[in-house]
Amino acid sequence: MDVSLPKGEHIALPTRPEDTVFAFCIQGEAIISAQLIAEKTAILFGAGDGVSIEATPDRDLRFILFSAKPLHEPVAWGGPIVMNTREELDRAFAELRDGTFIQTEPIL
């Protein structure tokens, strides 16, 4: 969810307790649980049924809120590619080098 708040404003958003929830401050600084969150920073929320975010008094805030069920899968991360295992990651980079990574027909 892309959210914009005028300076000094506050928003409370419901979330599902079973979801993993995090926010990324795109512009401005946020106040979350009395903690200042800098621009271009992500914050991971603990379990609960909602989040409360406030814009600082001197600057508008824009942030993205992410909320989804946890995958409970292993993660192998390598730059722009994320897979489940190191072997899958190595294969994906080999396919990328060979020009065979994600072959689909053009949409347009």
Express each pLDDT in 32-86 by its tens digit.
999 999 999 999 998 888 999 999 999 999 999 999 999 899 999 998 899 999 9
| Reported confidence tier of residue 107, pLDDT bands at 50, 70, 90 | low
Contact indicator for 26, 64 with CB cutoff of 8 Å: yes
| Reported confidence tier of residue 30, pLDDT bands at 50, 70, 90 | very high
Q: How far apart are CA 16 and CA 43, in angstroms?
A: 17
Token duo for residue 25: 């401050």
pLDDT at 2: 98
For every residue of 9-59, DSSP letters joined together read -EEEEE--TTSEEEEEEEES-EEETTEEE-TT-EEEE-SSSEEEEEE-TTS
Q: Find out if CATH 1.10.8.50 is the number for domain 2-68.
A: no
Q: How far apart are CA 73 and CA 44, in angstroms?
A: 18
pTM for the full predicted model:
0.71
Contact indicator for 25, 66 with CB cutoff of 8 Å: no
Tokens 């060979």 belong to residue: 98
